[in-house]
């Protein structure tokens, strides 16, 4: 009788362990497949000036997933190779270093965009999108006017009181795709650490602008954000100390 109970418990523990090991959050990246992207649709989207006229930051998204063509066009626009003979892309970079790495977080896992091959390479299985974003810290309250010093005449006009600042916006809700831009200073063949840091930030800004303009032109929505849980992202992606997390783009369709 005791042996039967032990065997039943053992089976339960084994079943629970298998569920834990094979749940998506614990799958190694090897369980994901590389995603071969489509050729970009170069005729897609609004004319440039019209895209600028509707460009806006959006923080709420619908549940509609991006299609493979959406992803393909988005990533090519962000930093895809447009002049293969010269190894040059849609986003300028200092010394043509291609220092910006584009990580794409989706429902099934995280991927790295390989721009020369136009492929998404698997990095991490599991859905970590909700772990990336942080709310902005509250804005500081307006400083109270200084108390007058004894013996000094009052000011001719009362000091203007700064209006109360509105609360910071909440983090974006449920975007189907999260893009994280990371600059790797090792890609620069020369320069001081300070210079490399500056170049990396500028290069990431160019990629970010490409993403925002593509979204504006094609009906997708996004907002560039610097507020992220960078410690968690570095841990998930196993980034080196030379790799700096700079910007995050939640992307989806309008809610």
| Strand partners of residue 55 | none
Judged by DSSP in three states, 129 sits in helix
For 83-107, the pLDDT digits (tens) are 999 999 999 999 999 999 999 999 9
At residue 249 the predicted structure's pLDDT band, cuts being 50, 70 and 90, is: very high
Which sign does the torsion angle of CA 85, 91, 92, 97 carry? negative
CB 102 within 8 A of CB 78: yes
Provide CB contacts within 8 A for 39, sequence distance 6+.
Answer: 72, 118
Residue 16, Ramachandran bin (φ over 0: left; ψ between -120 and 50: alpha; else beta): alpha
CA–CA distances in Å: residue 102 to residues 1, 118, 192, 215, 238: 59, 12, 24, 16, 14
Provide CB contacts within 8 A for 80, sequence distance 6+.
Answer: 40, 89, 90, 115, 118
For 153-183, the pLDDT digits (tens) are 666 655 555 666 666 666 677 899 999 999 9
Its pTM stands at 0.78
- Mean pLDDT of the chain, nearest integer: 85
Domains, the chain, ranges and CATH? 44-135+169-253 (3.40.109.10)
Mean pLDDT computed over 54-80 = 96
**What is the C-alpha to C-alpha distance for residues 139 and 215, in angstroms, rounded to an integer?**
29
């Amino acid at each position: 009788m005791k042996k039967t109970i032990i065997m039943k418990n053992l089976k339960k523990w084994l079943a629970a362990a298998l569920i834990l090991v094979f749940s998506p959050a614990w799958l190694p990246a090897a369980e994901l497949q590389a995603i071969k992207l489509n050729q970009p649709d170069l005729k897609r989207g609004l004319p440039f000036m019209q895209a600028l006229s509707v460009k806006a930051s959006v923080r709420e998204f619908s549940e509609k997933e991006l299609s493979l063509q959406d992803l393909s066009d988005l990533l090519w626009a962000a930093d895809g190779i447009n002049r293969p003979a010269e190894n040059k892309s849609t986003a300028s970079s200092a010394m043509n270093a291609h220092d910006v790495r584009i990580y794409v977080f989706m429902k099934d896992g995280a991927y790295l965009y390989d721009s020369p091959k136009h492929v998404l390479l698997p990095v991490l299985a599991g859905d970590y999108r909700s772990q990336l974003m942080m709310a902005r810290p509250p804005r500081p309250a307006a400083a109270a006017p200084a108390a007058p010093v004894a013996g000094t005449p009052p000011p001719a006009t009362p000091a203007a009181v700064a209006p109360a600042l509105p609360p910071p916006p909440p983090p974006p809700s449920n975007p189907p795709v999260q893009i994280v831009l990371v600059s790797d200073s090792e890609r620069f063949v020369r320069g001081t650490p300070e210079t490399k840091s500056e170049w990396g930030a500028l290069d990431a800004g160019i990629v970010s602008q490409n993403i925002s303009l593509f979204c504006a032109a094609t009906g997708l929505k996004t907002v560039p954000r610097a507020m992220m849980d960078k410690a968690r992202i570095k841990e998930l992606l196993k980034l080196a100390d030379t790799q700096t997390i700079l910007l995050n783009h939640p992307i989806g369709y309008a809610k």
